[in-house]
A = this chain, B = another copy of it.
Amino acid sequence: MQPSVAERRPQSFDRVLSSMCTKPHPAARRAAERFLAANPGDPATYETIAELEREAVASLAEVTGLADAVGVDGDTEARGNTGVSENTESHGDIAAHGYVTSGGSESNIQAVRSARERAETADPVVVAPESAHFSFHKAASVLDVELRTVPTDADGRADVDAVAAAVDEDAALVVAVAGSTEYGRVDPIPAMADLAVDAGVPLHVDAAWGGFHLPFSGHDWGFGVDGVETVTIDPHKVGRAAVPAGGLLARDPVALDALAVDTPYLETASQASLTGTRSGAGVASAAAAMDELWPDDYRAEYERASELAAWFAEELRSRGLDVVDPELPLVAFDLSRATFEAVRERGWRLSRTGAGEARVVVMPHVTRGSLSAFLDDLDAPR
């Protein structure tokens, strides 16, 4: 007999190894629970959550280097904000550069949509490395644009020459990946930005997963790179907000204006988001997580996860397994089909790359203890 709906409990995260979701930070969880019923899609009714969204965007602007790039100190303004109506202008500056989406897929779809709207060609093309997330395929299907994927180099990063060769007069957007879903690879973003600028095409950076590691990893990836026009970064992944909390940021607010649709019955004039009603839980928890964790705790998590990934990779190698050298804390490695099935059978939530490697994403809930237990199961006779 199945337990009733009310009795059902989620499984623990102890054996979740391949997900880019994680347990929200306690402060994020508390904020999510407080704002479960508020709708940031209706800011004239739900003012407090609208205010928290502006703060979340201001924080994201710091994480991605946008605040520095456009010369607005989002954080200071956020703290000094005293309410909506009085203060829209001073705060509006940074808030006009982004919004909290439902996640990376919406952010990527919207970035492509904005590029399509602003393209001067009738047949807009999006040029992306084949490592780009499947949401770009979804975007191409939804938006009826061509997605032109370009093979990556042997290490799984965008091949700049190949990308350059694929950019023609129909190119409306170049996509760079900053932390690929399968291997955690970061594309050579400055070089891609240069070629995008030369071609007069915006560069979109998908840092949905990598965005809260990259400020500490030494990569050039965000709005500090000229030519990066839009960035996807998800608080609900490494940012430790509750789902749904994605982020879309734009260097130029015009990129978001291109998405606006009139909203006749609301006391606000238009709406740029893909969804209508939106989750107050996601927005509040994003604001709370970043308020609590940026930058020191995110840095500490980057360091912890990177060390753990390096250790785990070494443990796998010592067992004779081929391991893709981790760039960000994500370890892909060869594992026979039989062993893969056997560990899934033991409850490990493991998934594979398109090429068949197992992949372990070292999220905040993944510990040395859980990876040791996984290695024990790999070592166990079957």
In the complex, what residues of B have CB within 8 A of residue A274's CB? Answer: 105-106, 109, 138, 142, 274
CA gap between A242 and B243 in the complex, in Å: 13
Chain B residues contacting A103 (CB-CB under 8 Å) are 275-278
Cβ-defined partner of A265 (8 Å) among B113, B181, B288 = B181
A36 contact set on B, CB distance < 8 A? 24, 29, 32-33, 242-243, 281
* Contact partners of A42 in chain B: CB under 8 A: 19, 21
Indicate if A182 sits at the interface (CB-CB under 8 A): yes
A112 to chain B, nearest CB (A): 10
Q: Which of A265-292 contact B (CB under 8 A)?
A: 265-267, 271, 274-282, 284, 287-288, 291-292
Q: B34 touching A9 by the CB < 8 A rule?
A: yes
Please report the total number of A residues contacting B with Cβ < 8 Å.
97
Q: How far in angstroms is the closest Cβ of chain B from A11?
A: 6
Known: A38-B10, A79-B2. A277 touches B21 (CB 8 A): yes
Stretch among A43-51, A191-199, A300-308 lining the B interface? A43-51
Bound state CA distance, A236 and B276, in angstroms?
A: 12
Q: How far is the CB of A271 from chain B (nearest CB, A)?
A: 8
Instruction: Name the B residues within 8 Å of A282 (CB-CB).
Output: 279
**Measured between alpha carbons, how far is A51 from B277 in the docked complex, in Å?**
25
Tell me if A275 and B21 are in contact (CB < 8 A). no
Residues in A4-35 with C-beta less than 8 Å from chain B: 4-6, 8-11, 13, 16, 18-24, 27, 29-35
Query: Which of B82, B181, B265 has a CB less than 8 Å from the CB of A359?
Result: B265
> A261 in the interface, Cβ–Cβ < 8 Å?
yes
Tell whether A339 is near chain B: CB-to-CB under 8 Å.
no
A164-172, A223-231, A346-354: which one contacts chain B? A346-354
Docked Cα-Cα span, A265 to B353, in Å, equals 5
Q: Taking the complex as formed, is A143 at the interface, i.e. its CB lies under 8 A from any CB of chain B?
A: yes
Q: Which residues of B contact A291 (CB under 8 A)?
A: 4-6
List 14 contacting pairs A-B, 8 Å CB cutoff, sorted by A. Answer: A5-B292, A6-B30, A10-B37, A11-B47, A44-B349, A106-B274, A113-B142, A134-B264, A134-B265, A142-B142, A236-B277, A243-B281, A244-B275, A279-B281
